Amino acid sequence: MLGDAAAGVLRDAMTAGMPAAAPILRFRDIYCIGPLGALGTADGPASRARYWAQLLPDAPPGVTEFDEEETRYAHAADAARHGTVFIWTGAHSSSQLWLQRLCATFSPQAADVRLVEAVDPGAASGGRRAVTQFDPGDLGELLARMRALDGGEIARLAGEWQRNRSVPSGVRRWTDGRITHHGDDFYDALLLTQCDDDWQAADQVIGAAQWECDEFLGDVFFAWRLRCLATSGRLLWRSPDGSLAEAVVRLPGSGGSQGTLH
């Protein structure tokens, strides 16, 4: 399962008896953002730690956290060699890249890999497309629609991982059944659209952008991009203590008191 919140939904469903209780292997790093090229090499964990340190300069994660993620992939590969593995996915880039990487770790002799897709059947783009958007009581129905991944599909998804990993990009989207690649600034226009000539709370701007975004990038990413926009002068930023919690932002050029961020 990808993400603490999604694992919590599954755990609650297991507590209620559907599906039956089983160990949950919980992954945490999201591959919709940041460099992927070094993953699978000795520098992989450090490369991800360096990226997240940009986004979380006040509390950067250590390399150990990403070493632990690599260990989880190894555990998943071992489990697939010896028994049944259920992969709970959604229709968004983080989930699809995670699925691809899992398949790249599986051996051709993977015993029994089953895919559970947390997507409303026939839903438009506004429909539910992530495990966290379902109630625990809904997971039994999703489980009833699961399907086995055969060796050919596992190999195809593993190849997709190698292709997507090799493309230099900062943001990845799941569009028309494939991963598309974009720069770090792809969603800057979305952030700017939430702003006007009046000061408003930075966290309000971030929340509005998350709500309208077609991907699940997280508030940390949007907070980073908001700071980048302020540093470049495309937004004005004002905060008594320099923190995001107290920050207000607005578009420049309409008079009034100026804010700065360096």
Rounded to an integer, what distance in angstroms lies between the CA atom of residue 231 and that of residue 157? 39
pLDDT tens-place string over residues 17-32: 888 888 999 999 999 9
Pick the closest to residue 146 from 176, 175, 113, 172 (CA basis): 113
pLDDT tens-place string over residues 40-60: 999 999 999 999 999 999 899
- Could you write out the DSSP letters of every residue in 21-57? ------B---TTBS--TTTTSTTHHHHHHHHHHHH-T
Tell me the pLDDT band of 256, cut-offs 50, 70 and 90.
very low
Tell me the pLDDT band of 254, cut-offs 50, 70 and 90.
low
Tell me the pLDDT band of 88, cut-offs 50, 70 and 90.
very high
Lowest mean per-residue pLDDT among 5-9, 108-112, 215-219, 242-246: 108-112
